[in-house]
Amino acid sequence: MKGESWKDMLVSLHSFIHRMSPTRVECDAKLWRECNYDVISVLTFSREARWVCTEMSLQQFSECDQAIPYRGGRKRYSAALRLIGQALKKLEHKRYIPVVFICTDGKKGERFTALDGFAENFRKRHSDGLRVFEVVGYGDMHLSFLMDFASRLGALCTTKI
């Protein structure tokens, strides 16, 4: 995914986060800075996964989201799932309700047989505690892979063209 698809994905991510934030609705606009308890983290992945923004408030994320770099190349979904799993394990589930979106064009990057077991284990360990878990396809996507990947993760699969 690159070019306009990448830009569209960033716009959708930013828009969704602002819509999803329950504190935005519950808080008086004048007190917004004092009452925002949402925590946002974003990672990018290709051959390896890297955190771009970690545990940021909504306001801090607004400053970070335009700097999320495009990282092309073969994708290692397992690297992304590994980092997401580590973050979910350390979250205080009593204080935060985790929401996970994996935005991708669904192009294969690693052998599906290797990813298959990893996806199943991820689902068993983490999907019950997630408020929203979704694989979102963008641009010129490989739809059958996305649907199979989402199914193995126990996630919803949606597309944005």
| Ranges of each domain in the chain | 4-160
Give burial (CB, 10 Å; 0-12/13-18/19+) of 91. Answer: middle
The per-residue pLDDT for 140 is 75
Fold of the 4-160 domain: Rossmann fold (3.40.50)
- The better pLDDT of the pair 93, 102 is held by 102
For the chain, give the percent of residues with pLDDT over 70.
66
- Give the pLDDT score at 28: 47
Q: What is the pLDDT of residue 95?
A: 62
Q: What is the DSSP letter of 140?
A: S
Query: Rounded distance, CA 51 to CA 42, Å?
Result: 6
> What pLDDT is attached to residue 30?
44
- The encoded tokens of residue 2 equal 């690159």
CB atoms within 10 A of CB 98: 17
So what's the pLDDT on residue 88? 81
Instruction: Measure the CA–CA gap between 64 and 60, rounded to whole angstroms.
Output: 6
Q: Which of 158, 97, 72, 87 has the alpha carbon at shortest distance from 122?
A: 87
* Residue of 149, 120, 117, 123 lying closest to 136 (CA atoms): 149
For residue 93, is pLDDT > 70? no
d(CA 93, CA 116): 27
Q: Residue 32 pLDDT more than 50?
A: no
Backbone angles phi, psi at 117, to 5 degrees: -65, -40
The lowest-confidence range among 59-63, 74-78, 119-123 is: 59-63
- The pTM (predicted TM-score) of the whole model is 0.73
Residue 92: the pLDDT is 58
